[in-house]
Each structure stands twice: as structure tokens, then as C-alpha cells.
Amino acid sequence: MSNPLDERRQGLENEYFHRKNQEAIAKLREKMRVAAQAKEAGTSSMKCPRCDGTLKEIFIETVPIDTCDKCAGVWLDSGEMEKLTQTDIARWFRRLWNKME
């Protein structure tokens, strides 16, 4: 036999978590929208972890990497280093320096 108070508590908990999920989904959608806009504009929505510069996406062959417009730091997303190591490393460095000049 179920207790009406337990059911009420369970209902409130479900409502609370449903609302939290909706809020998290809305925040995530907003972040994705901002990131998509930045990508279209050719800029990243991310700030440099080292300084207050803005990260810009450049391509080394087909691999996109983020470089800071202020300190020239280079930032790699997951898997990008692995892709870069599959290219000729000397050619890769030469192209990187040419793009940052």
C-alpha cells in the first residue's frame, strides 16, 4: 500500500529534476547557438586559457586547431593532436608558423 505523502514527495522530486533538466538543456542550446554563430563568423567563442585573447580556428591541412590572437598560444581539442601526428611534422610546423605571422 503506497503512502500518499511518499507519492507527493516523489512527485515534487520528479518535478524538481524535470525543471533542472529543462534549465540545463536550455543553457546547453544557448552555448551551442553561440558556438555555431562564432564558427560561421570564423572566430571561436572561447577565450584563451592563458590570457584574455580570443581563440581563432585555423586549419593545418584538414585538422582544425585553435590559436590565440593575442599570445599566439595553440590549443588542441580532443583527438586533434593524434591527427596532427599523422601528418608530416616538419611540414606541419612550417605551415603553422606561416599562418601565425
Point out which residues bind Zn ion (CB under 5 A): 48, 50-51, 53, 68, 70-71, 73
Amino acid at the residue 52: D
Shortest distance (Å) from residue 75 CB to Zn ion = 9
Which contacts of 42-45 are long-range, i.e. CB under 8 A and separated by 24 or more positions?
Answer: none
Shortest distance (Å) from residue 100 CB to Zn ion = 12
| Residue number, 60 or 68, with CB nearest to Zn ion | 68
| Residue number, 45 or 87, with CB nearest to Zn ion | 45
Beta-bridge partner residues of 65: 58
